[in-house]
Amino acid sequence: MSEQATPNKSNRKQQKKKAKNIDDAIHEQDIETKIVNDERTEVIKQMKQINSKLGRVECAMKKMDTRLEGTIKRGTIRETMKDLLLEMKKELLKSMVNRIEVLERDMENDKLKARVETLEKSITEIKQENDLITRKAQKEE
């Protein structure tokens, strides 16, 4: 009888190992499926980014095409370059004018702040003098 019990126990252990191996395999498949889904999501995200960049490149190419068409119609690249440089010069000049205006405003604000501080000091001194005179007048009375 003890001989029969041993094979049953070993059969049960083997069945448990098989069941565990099957569970492990299913769990690994779930993990692999999740990894594949994550990778798909990442690929989709990257494709959207690439499409966005391609759209911007396409827009820039269209802009260059129109400029080249204008160049061909005008006849020389030199004129186009001159026009582009003039346009850049105007934009740079506008930027510099704006910066100068901001600096002038900042300088003006700093001057006004300094003036306000001196006026506040003067007012404080005058108040102190008035308080002193008032106290002296009250003492004399």
- For the chain, give every domain's residue range: 1-75
Band (pLDDT 50/70/90 cuts) for residue 2 is very low
Burial 119-135 (b: 16+ CB within 10 A, else e): eeeeeeeeeeeeeeeee
Q: Tell me how far apart the alpha carbons of residues 125 and 70 are, in angstroms, rounded to a whole number.
A: 72
pLDDT in tens, 81-130: 888 889 899 999 998 998 899 999 999 999 999 999 999 999 999 999 99
pTM over the 0.85 mark? no
Return the percentage of the chain with pLDDT > 90, whole number.
Answer: 28
- What integer best gives the mean pLDDT of the chain? 80
